[in-house]
């Protein structure tokens, strides 16, 4: 199925290719969206809504070129995350205004304690800084926290030794924890 997805995604002659791929991977995308939204209190955005919004963003692109299935999921996940940050920013603007709140690493990583708009925006700022500091470690956090991959799966995807991935994850947790404690 993985090869079929890549073939469809790169078939520029087939205008319906994206729809066919979405049909094939819909449950996987929904699982990713649910990971993003897990633990969010009083949310009005549901995983299905997030998947549909991401599909809308993908469908707007006139030229889509993906290396493989993992690249597609990475792009879809990134779009979902940005939509969620936009949603949080809009909710904050509508409800409160004001400065961003500090958030602990456990609260900041999806699947931890409930996150409010302030916490989500703080995490976004920290993730942007991590991306500037080290794009590979930024990707590791995305794969682990947002896609929910195991350390072994990350080692396979990134073609790194399991021990290296574990060491990098430990660094990321400490770095993000410190970054999220700093005043904004």
Task: State pLDDT tens for residues 73-126.
Answer: 878 888 888 888 788 777 766 555 444 454 544 444 544 444 566 676 777 788
Whether 62 and 149 map to the same domain: the answer is: no
Q: Are residues 127 and 54 in the same domain?
A: no
Query: Two tokens at 115?
Result: 């996150």
Write phi, then psi, for 126 (nearest 5 degrees).
-65, -40
CA-wise closest residue to 6 among 78, 67, 54, 62:
67
Verdict on whether the full-model pTM lies above 0.75: no
Please state, in angstroms and rounded to a whole number, the distance separating the CA atoms of residues 29 and 49.
Answer: 11
Determine contact, residues 86/111, Cβ cutoff 8 Å: no
Total domains in the chain come to 2
Whether 51 and 81 map to the same domain: the answer is yes
Q: Which of 98, 133, 156 is the last residue of a domain?
A: 98
Q: For residues 136 and 164, state if they share a domain.
A: yes
HSE-CB of 84 using CA atoms within 13 angstroms: 32
Domain C-terminal end among 43, 71, 98? 98
User: Tens of pLDDT along 26-69?
Assistant: 998 998 888 878 766 656 788 888 899 888 888 777 566 777 77
């Amino acid at each position: 199925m993985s090869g079929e997805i890549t073939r469809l995604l790169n078939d520029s002659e087939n205008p319906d290719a994206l729809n066919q791929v979405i049909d094939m991977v819909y449950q996987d995308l929904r699982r990713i969206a649910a990971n993003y939204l897990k633990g969010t209190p009083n949310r009005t955005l549901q995983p299905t809504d997030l998947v549909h919004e991401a599909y809308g963003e993908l469908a707007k692109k006139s030229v889509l070129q993906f290396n493989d299935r993992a690249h597609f999921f990475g792009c879809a996940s990134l779009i979902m995350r940005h939509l969620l940050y936009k949603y949080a920013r809009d909710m904050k603007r509508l409800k409160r205004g004001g400065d961003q709140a500090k958030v602990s690493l456990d609260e900041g990583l999806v699947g931890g304690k409930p996150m409010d708009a302030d916490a989500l925006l703080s995490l976004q700022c920290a993730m942007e800084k991590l991306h500037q500091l080290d794009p590979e470690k930024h990707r590791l956090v995305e794969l682990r926290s947002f896609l929910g991959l195991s350390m072994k799966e990350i080692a396979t995807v990134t073609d790194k030794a399991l021990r290296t991935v574990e060491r990098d994850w430990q660094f990321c947790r400490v770095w993000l924890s410190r970054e999220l404690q700093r005043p904004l």
